[in-house]
């Protein structure tokens, strides 16, 4: 086995361990995982490794994947498992909060998000949803934000924004669905950087130490949250200026999707030998 394959196998084991932990915790047996893996092998072989100008064949996919022609034929059209409704709820809630934070029409004199009346033409929650939430009743958006803990109802009936972060997944299933989006984006970033020129690589940075005292972590965690949130809000304002859904006057060609993500992780560290 050459060094590249050894590195790939080791990396795959590291990736699979936390994923398998999630699968076992949710009673997903190996057979179901193996079937999913086969489906993805076939899907990727068809979409990413075809020969230009030639129709993909079952025989070629069989050679690429190591699966039998019979298996390839059986799973050539894998089912769509993505939950579009959940992702749309996330995007809608994030857009509404982003508009509330960055749009001066919904600020107070100090430049902070206003406590909004539900109804009204100027500076109301209904107007906010109409501007940033798409064709969805404002009541439905409010209920979603309340469930997520992003807003609260005041005694006078107004709505107050209590966090600039929208995490709508109060149900375990919703939290797991976003796993497929965030982890995918990180792996795709690494894949891009593995085969692209250095001048075309995507941002991929981290800091990591493995001999920190437990007492240092609360400060580290707090600083990471505060500084990262501030940076993300600044970048959100920049991206929103160029997003043609939020800013129809933005000029340019093509249609691109860009993501900037930050995470914090900690665990017990094993001493070095």
pLDDT in tens, the chain (273 residues): 788 899 999 999 999 999 999 999 888 889 889 988 999 999 999 988 888 888 888 999 999 999 999 888 888 764 555 555 656 666 788 889 888 988 888 988 888 899 999 987 778 999 999 888 877 888 888 988 888 788 999 999 899 998 876 666 556 776 777 788 899 999 999 999 999 999 999 999 999 999 999 999 999 999 999 999 999 989 988 998 899 888 888 999 999 999 999 999 999 998 765
Q: Which two tokens stand for residue 262?
A: 């930050």
Q: Which two tokens stand for residue 127?
A: 């107007």
CA torsion sign for 134, 140, 144, 145 is: positive
Q: Which residues pair with 160 in a beta bridge?
A: 152
Assigned CATH class of 84-161: mainly alpha
- Classify 57 as helix, strand or coil: coil
- Whole-model pTM: value is 0.69
Q: What is the DSSP letter of 151?
A: E
CB contact at 8 A, 176 and 26: yes
Q: Rounded CA gap, 201 and 41, in Å? A: 25
Map out the domains of the chain as residue ranges. Answer: 1-81, 84-161
Residues whose CB falls within 8 Å of the CB of residue 60, separated by 6 or more in sequence, listed in order:
45, 50, 51
């Amino acid at each position: 086995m050459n060094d590249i394959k050894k590195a790939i196998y080791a990396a795959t084991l590291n990736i699979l361990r936390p994923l398998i932990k999630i699968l076992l915790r949710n009673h997903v047996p190996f057979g179901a995982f193996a079937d999913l893996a086969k489906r993805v092998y076939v899907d990727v072989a068809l979409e990413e490794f075809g020969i230009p100008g030639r129709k993909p064949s079952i025989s070629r996919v069989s050679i690429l994947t190591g699966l039998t022609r019979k298996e390839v034929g059986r799973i050539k059209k894998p089912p769509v498992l993505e939950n579009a409704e959940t992702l749309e709820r996330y995007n809608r809630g994030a857009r509404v909060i982003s508009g509330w934070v960055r749009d001066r029409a919904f600020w107070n004199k100090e430049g902070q998000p206003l406590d909004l009346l539900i109804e009204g033409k100027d500076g109301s929650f209904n107007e906010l949803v109409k501007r940033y939430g798409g064709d969805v009743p404002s009541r439905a958006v409010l209920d979603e934000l309340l469930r997520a803990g992003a807003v609260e109802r005041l005694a006078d009936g107004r709505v107050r924004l209590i966090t600039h972060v929208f995490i709508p997944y109060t149900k375990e299933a919703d939290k797991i669905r976003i796993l497929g989006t965030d982890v995918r984006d990180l792996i795709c970033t690494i894949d891009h950087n593995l085969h692209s020129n250095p001048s075309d690589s995507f941002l991929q940075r981290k800091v990591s130490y493995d001999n920190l005292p437990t007492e240092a972590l609360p400060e580290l965690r707090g600083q990471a949250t505060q500084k990262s949130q501030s940076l993300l809000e600044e970048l959100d304002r920049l991206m929103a200026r160029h997003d043609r859904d939020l800013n129809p006057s933005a000029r340019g060609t093509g249609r691109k999707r860009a993501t900037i993500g930050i995470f914090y992780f900690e665990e017990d560290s094993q001493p070095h030998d």
